[in-house]
Structure 1
Amino acid sequence: MGLRLGGKGQQSHRMVIFAAILILMTLFILYSSNNNSSIDAVYASFHVATNHATKTTDLRKWTGKDGYVPVYGNKSMTMHCHECALVTSSSHVLGSRAGDEIDRTECVIRMNDAPTTGYESDVGNRTTLRVVAHSSVFRVVRRPNEFLRHTDSHPVIIFWGPPNKIGKDAKGTLYRLIQRVSMTYRDFSCFTVTPSKMRRFDSLFQRETGRDRQKSHSWLSTGWFTMVIAIEICDNIKVYGMVPPNHCGRKSGSKKMPYHYYKPRGGDECVTYIQHESSRRGNHHRFITEKQVFARWGKQYNISFTHPKW
């Protein structure tokens, strides 16, 4: 026989449910408020491991220049610069008017398909070294006048990516395309990163962050490769456009900035950073964690950051 609640019992039952809902809503509002005031809470669970004991790595002696294989010919990676300008792809370079300063620097380093045409006043026009991910090869090759002619007299391109895509033994479409570029533009010195050095990039990430790259589903960014390569070849580095690691944890009213300076309608930089940093499924860049490491390297390797300055 079922038990039926009386009028007062039903009313009391409803009051209990209402009170529970009210408490849950209050907690949700407080939680949301905390998230808005400090976005750091969203991605704090990744970041450099809190119990990670940092071990000093001398990157200038890390592997030397033997981790680069020429795509065509028998050239060797011998580049060395006293002063380098590392120009990021961030929209923070827009309005900097740093172009002349960048072009006066001994060596200018750029990434992927970041253009100079139309942005000379802010990013300069010279390119000494360009670091290109396998995913950007087609975009670079599609615009040879931009990426393969507006360069210094003996420019270098370093291609990085999975060995099965850009390795010399791969013989796939991507490698053949890189090889064709290298044969066509003889003034260029084109190199790919060896499989053993790719593994060392992974182990360096774990050493510096306490996180296993593969187990944590992390993809190293072109920024990570470029920064390490710059430290290998440059005595002093000035980085243009890179934000500090805590930039996206500031007040939510911060001005929204496109992720790339040459894609004004692209996604917002901080939204992209936080989505990648906090994601657990699939493979993602850990931009903020990488910048934590860069901040530490800045003190070790004569690296300064400008636009913004930090």
Structure 2
Amino acid sequence: MKVFLKYEDNEDEATHKTLKITLPKSWKSGPTSRLLDQFVESYNGGKEGHANTLDSGSLHLSTRLSEDNGEGGAVMREIPSDGVVLSLIPDREDVYICHGPSRTSAEIEAERLAEMEKKKLESAYMSKCVRFGCNQKFRKGGPYPRCKYHSGPPVFHETAKFWSCCPNKKAYDWEGFQLLPTCQTADHCTDVRDEGTNQKEFLGGCDLREQMSGPKLKSIDDFNATRAAGGSEGAPVLERLRGVFEELGVENELFDQVLDGIKEGVATKIGCDAANPAVIDESVKVLGGKLKGAMKAIAVERLRIN
């Protein structure tokens, strides 16, 4: 079993060091603190230690869970000093040496429980503003202070970070993004429904391209089919589907027979004439559901045969 011990918790890159260790068999079932002691001994005995002597009593081990915690840093998981190496550290894992004294499993668990209790109390007595760019907390029931916020969600596109409501003000790192000024002022909002929006939490490149493309224009055939059906948006869908089925070998007469049966059932259910646009639109949904069910049945049969 090999692990890579890394010290990068210093702005001076000259003090950084990576130590690759092949663990003796006895170490695998031993405490993780042994790894820290081994690294500190190696570090202080090398050139890095001459300029930056480390003390194992003021350091702890961590693994990196992800590169971004939403605040410009990585998400780290602290490794307890009394934990067993084999149960906490996978083979060839990067283990980071971080400043701050090591803690036992019991101490880490106690902090976790205390944090859970704190959040429980906060949720019972505190509210959090849900407006974009605010996130302030205040006591439930008010009085609610004034809120400075953005009217649109943030956009993260390539290296640029900005608010969709303020596209001309961009940042290219997290610190700069947090300093971008807000554009709206109102009372704090604690209910997403108060905003009257189903906006996404954030936008990306696909969302920007979709916004720039504008509404999709109908073809002349779709326009004519919709108009002939009294404004039904489902009519052109059925026309295209009829043509596709014909190419697949399904006769138009059979398609029309099935569709007419669905229309009659829908018309009876909602109490309208079969030519009513509402009946046509609902028939599209019913036919789509039946086709989906048939394709699922085919897929299940294929799996059964295989």
Q: TM-score range by the shorter chain?
A: under 0.3
Higher RCO, 1 or 2 (CA under 8 Å, sep at least 6)?
A: 1
Structure with the higher fraction of residues in strand conformation: 2
TM-score (norm. length: structure 1): 0.17
TM-score (norm. length: structure 2): 0.17
